[in-house]
Structure 1
Amino acid sequence: MSKDIKIKKGLDIKLKGEAERIISEAPRSKVYAIKPTDFHTVTPKMVVKQGDYVHAGDVIFFSKYNDMVKFVAPVSGTVQEIKRGAKRRILEVIIEADAQDAYKDFGAKQPESMSGDEIKAFLLESGCFPFIKQRPYDVIANPNDTPKAIFISAYASAPLAADIEFVLKDKKDDFQLGINAIAKLTSGKTHLSVDKNSTSFLKDVSGVEIHKISGPHPAGNIGVQIHNIDPINAGERVWVVQPQDVALIGKLFRTGKFDATRTIAVAGTEAPKAQYFQVKLGAGIKDILGVITDSVRIISGDVLTGQKVTNDGYLGYYNNLITLIPEGNDYRAFGWLPFKDNNIPSMSRTSLAWLFPNKRYEVNTNLNGEERALVVTGEMEKVFPMDIYPMQLLKECMIGNIEKMESLGIYEVAPEDFALVEYVCTSKVEAQEIVRVALDLMIKEVG
């Protein structure tokens, strides 16, 4: 039986450059990269060294503070370089790929005949466990924990987000097999959220509780869905998995191989080809997009939560979207004047955008403002759909008041939940960074 959840607060930012529903296979990269920086709080301990040959699925490094959590090679080839930064921090492990992948064989498994502990051990051994993240804290799950529930969001509401139903349309069997495995990791329920108007196989998946979601962004955020379905209290843990990673886990059980192929959307007004591509995790950006000029901002992720990458960079481990928009190098004369134009999507009535609710915009990276000391009361609450006071929580996060943060709901939020708050804030408060620093403090002091 499905349950309907309607989100009323929020804001859909409608942008030009949506990916056309065509899937092509991207050219195979000559080199791939695993970036430990994609795994927040993980300190890597290397298993391989420069010059070593690895198969797809071989362990590259493991977590220093939990050696059960292993990170494996997405492709076969030779470890070309281990790039380090300040204090010898490992930034990237570069693998020179073979023309065709050779896989480590973990052996096909039937999750229906396995216990939860056996499934967990198999995911840890194969390197698939890092696909499972936990709330609170939005970090890789601790395999020693038992979550009270598992959440999967197949409803994407972020600007230019990849259409999850389209991406999974040919992965029905692998997705169901992945669900069968993941559901055994908890004694509680496994929740799957889908678009209320879904016509895909997702609404008929067995072994989960289906929730039909509707409403503006951030309705697709897993944190918003958890808040409405089964909120997190102090001391509790829930695990979350992305839909494509569920299918990848299912394929692991079916074939016994770690196949790191992912379908990503390339979108934005500056995208050479706004469409979908099949790539391997850690693929080179240049191999997917071609040469991009410095006048274009390449974002690994969406425009609200993604990270800036260079043309020589690599696809993020958890990203299924690359967005390209113009760099905001132009000055908007008399931009402070009200009703000057309607070319900027804004919640403010000083813009004419509210008169054109269905218009799509071509945006650039200009902030159209600067950081200020004063915060407009009530502004953040208009787009924050949780039963939490966002402004008060941000204030306590900034001063590190753990007791107040707990009482105001820090366990329920992640940086992405504050992306819209950051966008609409007149004072340009870096809300996502503030929340991330506060969560790191909670990990250190509370655990």
Structure 2
Amino acid sequence: MSKDIRIKKGLDIRLVGEAEQVTTELPLGSVFAVRPDDFHGVIPKIIAKEGTEVKAGEALFYNKSDERMLFPSPVSGKVSEIVRGARRKVLSIKITADGKQEYKDFGKKDVDSMSGEEVKNHLFTSGCWPFIKQRPYDVVANPNQEPKAIFVSAYASAPLAADYDYALKGKEAELQTALTALTKLTSGKVHVSVAKSSNISPFRDVKGVELHKVSGPHPIGNVSTQIAHIDPLNKGEVVWVVTPQDLVVIGELLLTGNFNLTRTVALTGSKFEKPQYVTALAGAQVADVVKGNLNSDNTRVISGNVLSGMQVAEDGFLGYYENQFTAIPEGNDYELFGWNKPIFNKVSTTRALTFSWLTPKKKYDLNTNTNGEHRAFVVTGAYEEVFPLDIYPMQLLKACMYKDLDEMEGLGAYEIAPEDFALTEFICVSKQPHQKIIREGLDLMRAELG
């Protein structure tokens, strides 16, 4: 197949508040948290009780279904609180930082001389295994199934997404080391996709992988789109997925022996006084990261991007897999006769009284208003216009809702993740929660079919 991937179906949502390519070094922060819900499908068994002193990289809990799968602390300090919800479900484990990072030493490794089993065991021991996710089901990878290929999407096409070319600048050694380690975990290929327009990607000179150049509207950056064009997934097959920022963590671990979760985080959206990049640890408290920069008047803060991120309060925390905070206006106002007048300040795929198609390069300051109420599915054919996978999105959504496993299999549910339906959810005139529907469908398939 061609190493160039270009799609036409999709939608670029251009928003104001793109991060300026300036990075501010932030102080460490005081409180951090690891949320088991970030690792979908994992049932945590607590190792570090309240009051336990931990170093960065020491395990806080493990996966009940596989004790090798450890989940470490991002910071050194004391476990100050284990927050529980209904039926004593663990919601988060909070760690009060001691002001100076101390790392658990996992030892430097020569990745070239390591076998696949040695790499796997080292990722287990160090707590880096959760960075590897799998298709189908979009969960932490099952280590007992060998993947037919491993995918890394080094181009983020979501609205206001962090620019990997800038955020990972200078991390070439870590990226190469991590990718070399991944090649030991599969008999297939490791595929890396970069923007066709980029000439400064830190991945441009990596060895031992298959490099692909991608172009087109969002969701070209979604790894599911790339898998469908490079090595489509069939029933019974597994592929693994790793994000670029997590590759840096794995690479630094192998080179230095330290589990360092420091990320270059993009602060984006119109509600930031100065959209920019900052350095922060995964699990950092929102208030510490946005301090002095956020206009908190009628604002929604999102850990991640506006399409698939999660809403957080200022006392919330940066998601374990995220490298972006987005702040946009809260949509709690309503327009009189908003459905019956020309609209110039919103994005739409239809030309009925909307005019965003006249100015495709215009940036919008959108809020969270859904501009309508939840209702039964309206068949418009609009989903297919922004959905580049060879799948019927409406039919798959309905199959997930009425829990028809055979139909879900036949319609391609093995190939997708909830984020792939973020655009169809954005344009949905029925205001249906597409990503939630797909997540529940995938969970059902995993429970019933394994």
Could you say which TM-score interval applies, normalised by the shorter chain? over 0.9
Answer whether contact 1:272 1:289 (CA < 8 A) is retained: no
Structural mapping, 1:36-435, within 5 Å: 36-200=36-200, 201-290=202-291, 293=296, 295-339=298-342, 341-350=343-352, 351-435=354-438
Misfit runs of 4+, over 2 Å: 291-294
Structure 2: which amino acid aligns with 1:314? F
Question: Secondary structure at 1:173's aligned position in 2?
Answer: helix
Structural mapping, 1:426-445, within 5 Å: 426-445=429-448
- 2:196 and 2:395 mapped to 1: Cα distance? 33
- 1:94 and 1:2 mapped to 2: Cα distance? 47
C-alpha displacement of 1:266? 0.4
- 1:321 and 1:333 mapped to 2: Cα distance? 34
Q: Percent identity?
A: 55
> Match of 1:27?
27
Q: Please tell me the root mean square deviation across aligned C-alpha atoms, in Å.
A: 1.2
Answer whether contact 1:2 1:210 (CA < 8 A) is retained: no
C-alpha displacement of 1:182? 1.1
For these two proteins, the number of residue pairs brought into alignment is 446
Question: Secondary structure at 2:264's aligned position in 1?
Answer: strand
C-alpha displacement of 1:409? 0.2
Answer whether contact 1:152 1:191 (CA < 8 A) is retained: yes
Structure 2: which amino acid aligns with 1:303? V
C-alpha displacement of 1:374? 3.8
Answer whether contact 2:190 2:209 (CA < 8 A) is retained: yes
Answer whether contact 2:12 2:218 (CA < 8 A) is retained: yes
- 1:325 and 1:407 mapped to 2: Cα distance? 39
C-alpha displacement of 1:202? 1.5
Structure 1: which amino acid aligns with 2:349? M
C-alpha displacement of 1:209? 0.3
Structure 1: which amino acid aligns with 2:138? D
Question: Secondary structure at 1:397's aligned position in 2?
Answer: helix
C-alpha displacement of 1:203? 2.0
Q: Which runs of 5+ in 1 are unaligned?
A: none
Deviations 1:301-348 (A, max 9, x none): 111101100000010000111000011122111101142x31011111
Range 366-375 or range 76-85, more displaced: 366-375
- 1:366 and 1:70 mapped to 2: Cα distance? 39
Answer whether contact 2:377 2:432 (CA < 8 A) is retained: no
- 1:153 and 1:285 mapped to 2: Cα distance? 26
Answer whether contact 1:266 1:274 (CA < 8 A) is retained: yes
- 2:79 and 2:7 mapped to 1: Cα distance? 47
- TM-score, normalised by the number of residues in structure 2: 0.97
Question: Secondary structure at 2:204's aligned position in 1?
Answer: helix
- 1:125 and 1:374 mapped to 2: Cα distance? 47
Structure 1: which amino acid aligns with 2:153? S
Question: Secondary structure at 1:199's aligned position in 2?
Answer: coil
- 2:92 and 2:285 mapped to 1: Cα distance? 12
Answer whether contact 1:283 1:315 (CA < 8 A) is retained: yes
- 2:204 and 2:99 mapped to 1: Cα distance? 39
C-alpha displacement of 1:294? 5.3
C-alpha displacement of 1:272? 3.0
C-alpha displacement of 1:98? 1.3
Answer whether contact 2:175 2:203 (CA < 8 A) is retained: no
Question: Secondary structure at 1:80's aligned position in 2?
Answer: strand
- 1:125 and 1:153 mapped to 2: Cα distance? 26
C-alpha displacement of 1:27? 2.5
C-alpha displacement of 1:430? 1.0
Structure 2: which amino acid aligns with 1:195? A
Structure 2: which amino acid aligns with 1:216? P
Question: Secondary structure at 1:204's aligned position in 2?
Answer: coil
- 2:394 and 2:198 mapped to 1: Cα distance? 35
Structure 1: which amino acid aligns with 2:47? V
Deviations 1:276-323 (A, max 9, x none): 011111001000112753510000011110110000001000011100
- 2:377 and 2:392 mapped to 1: Cα distance? 17
Question: Secondary structure at 2:191's aligned position in 1?
Answer: strand
Answer whether contact 1:2 1:212 (CA < 8 A) is retained: no
Deviations 1:206-258 (A, max 9, x none): 11101100000000000111011111111111000001111111110000110
- 1:118 and 1:22 mapped to 2: Cα distance? 39
- 1:374 and 1:434 mapped to 2: Cα distance? 13
Deviations 1:153-198 (A, max 9, x none): 0011000000011111110111111111111110100000000012
Structure 2: which amino acid aligns with 1:211? H
C-alpha displacement of 1:429? 1.4
- TM-score, normalised by the number of residues in structure 1: 0.98
Answer whether contact 1:176 1:247 (CA < 8 A) is retained: no
Structure 2: which amino acid aligns with 1:379? A
Answer whether contact 2:59 2:71 (CA < 8 A) is retained: yes
Answer whether contact 1:77 1:96 (CA < 8 A) is retained: yes
